[in-house]
Amino acid sequence: MLDVLTRETCVPSATGLSPAPRAAARPALARRARPWLGLGALLAATLLNLLDSTVSSVAAPSIRASLGGSLASLQWIAAGYTLALAVGLLTGGRLGDMFGRKRMWLAGIVGFMLASLACGLANSTEVLIGARVLQGLAGALMIPQTFGLMRDLFGPAVGKAFAALGPAIGLASILGPVVAGLLIDANLFGTGWRMVFLINLTLGTIALVVGWRVLPAAAPTAGGQRLDVRGALLAAAGMLLLVYPLVQGRELGWPTWTLGLLGASMVTLAVFGWSQWRRARAGVPALIELSIFGQRGYSAGVLFVIVFFGVCVGFSLAVGLLLQLGLHYRPLEASLSMLGWALGAFVGTAVGSTQMQRLGRRIIHLGLSLMALGLIGLYVVLASVGAQLTGWTLLLPLLVFGIGMGMIFAPLFDIILSGLRDHEIGSASGLLESIQQLGASLGVAVLGTVFFSGIGAQADAEQFVRAAMQVTLLTLGLTGLAIGCGFLLPRRGRGWQAAH
């Protein structure tokens, strides 16, 4: 930027620097800087979601120590956010088309800030979980607008923006848990874990002010289309009926009605699919383009996304709980002990981005194989070291697991979407984003339930380690399921992400 400033303002003349050309250059400099300022605002908003989607693995034990609540409440602090995000993403993109992307993005930022303030001021776990749900809904309004706004800002040069956005997000994924641990341990102004949420007010204000001034206000593109409210409510009910008994069932002793809710979720989701089919047949815009499920690769991709993101998020929560609840690590110590995972993910993402076109689907299997190798290594470490576990003994297996996980992130959606027609991609990608969050909710519910089932009311460190070993074995089995699903994915992507 300093080079640009020098070139644009220091124009030689016979007498030194000519004031007139320098003044004339300022608008040109502003035009050049404007897209990058806008990208900075979009990135700040993206970081809000990234930070708050990972905060539970670091902050949840401190929250429970402060507010009390059941073990299931630790799962809901994570699952409430991701479940609301999953539900909201089905309609968030459509709202941007109907009312304007910039308007909905700004509304999402404001909603996210208000919900973050409510999280920071919560005086009970019930209030906190409710505020987390509101955070997820606000995030679902904000996130789908990002890539459209990037295209509006950069036009044909949008590839440069993607090139800058990817590493920034990767770096944030590394620093996010560490920053959360620092904030909790620092106990700024006596806020403790609350600062993890209150810091969003600073980041959100920056995004809001810069975005309001810089982002283009393109006209709505959906014309007179109406939102499918009935479909959105059916999808929300089906997802909630699926996740709720999985989180609460263990604590309640699995009464019959929890199994009934699981059955009711299948019926509700089937009714949702039927309603989408009827709308499509009547020529009315639906939330989901059902023709996408005619492609075997996409249907397999939906199952893959549920399993893969369930493994990533649920396993992260279990490791964080082991370190803090079982081994009594401070939040910062736990974050640093899991740093190998984040560093591995950063490296793996770079590998996946550069090799996705050359290796195609094979990079998915290579990544899953590394994840399985890391899990086997972790199981061996837990079995041999037990309660003497340290960050150094975790480093290598989590690093290998993280590299494999990161290798899958970049090419996954590109490969899943490669077999679809152009008019189906918008609906299909939006659904995948929603399914990703649903998978995260299910991972927290299932792996969290297995973890807590392995410990007693007065569990010692060894019981926590044994519970973590059970979760590791289950995660290894789910990774094997993902490997099987991977063979049904399309063989190669088509560069969709770069084009969009």
pLDDT in tens, 33-77: 588 888 889 888 888 887 887 777 788 889 988 998 888 898 999
Looking at residue 304, its pLDDT comes to 95
Q: Is residue 138 part of a domain?
A: yes
In a domain, 26, yes or no: no
Q: Give domain status of residue 110, yes or no.
A: yes
Q: Is 127 helix (H, G, I), strand (E, B) or coil?
A: helix
Q: Is residue 357 part of a domain?
A: yes
- CA 220-223-227 angle, to 5 degrees, is 95
Backbone angles phi, psi at 487, to 5 degrees: -70, -15
Structural domain tally of the chain?
Answer: 3
Residue-wise pLDDT for 373-385, tens only, equals 999 999 999 999 9
Residue closest to 10 by CA, chosen among 22, 1, 26: 22
Residue 3 counted as domain residue: no
Distance CA 268, CA 271 (A): 5
Q: Assess whether 320 and 188 both reside in one domain.
A: no
Q: Return the closest-CA partner of residue 96 out of 53, 140, 161, 136.
A: 140
Query: Mean pLDDT score of the chain, rounded to an integer?
Result: 84
Cβ neighbors of 74 (< 8 A, separation 6 or more) are 56, 60, 61, 63, 64, 317, 321, 448
Instruction: Say yes or no to pLDDT of 221 above 80.
Output: no
CA–CA distances in Å: residue 341 to residues 334, 337, 347, 384, 477: 12, 9, 10, 20, 20
Looking at the structure, tell me whether residues 486 and 352 fall in a common domain. yes
Pick from 80, 17, 94: nearest CA to 448: 80
Q: Domain range holding 120?
A: 41-219
Could you tell me the pTM of the whole model?
Answer: 0.85
Q: Are residues 370 and 233 in the same domain?
A: no
Instruction: State the CATH number of the domain containing residue 392.
Output: 1.20.1250.20
Q: Which residue has the tokens 């999953």?
A: 86
User: Tens of pLDDT along 71-95?
Assistant: 889 899 999 999 999 999 888 888 8
Q: What is the enclosing helix (H) or strand (E) of 17? A: strand 16-17
Q: Are residues 261 and 386 in the same domain?
A: no
Domain boundary among 286, 303, 325: 286
CB 121 within 8 A of CB 137: no
367 within domain boundaries: yes
What is the per-residue pLDDT across 145-160, written as a single tens digit (0 to 9) for each?
888 888 888 877 777 7
Rounded to 5 degrees, φ, ψ at 16 are 120, -120
Say whether 455 sits in a helix, a strand or coil.
coil
Residue 324: closest CA among 79, 52, 59: 59
17-26, 381-390, 471-480: range with lowest mean pLDDT: 17-26
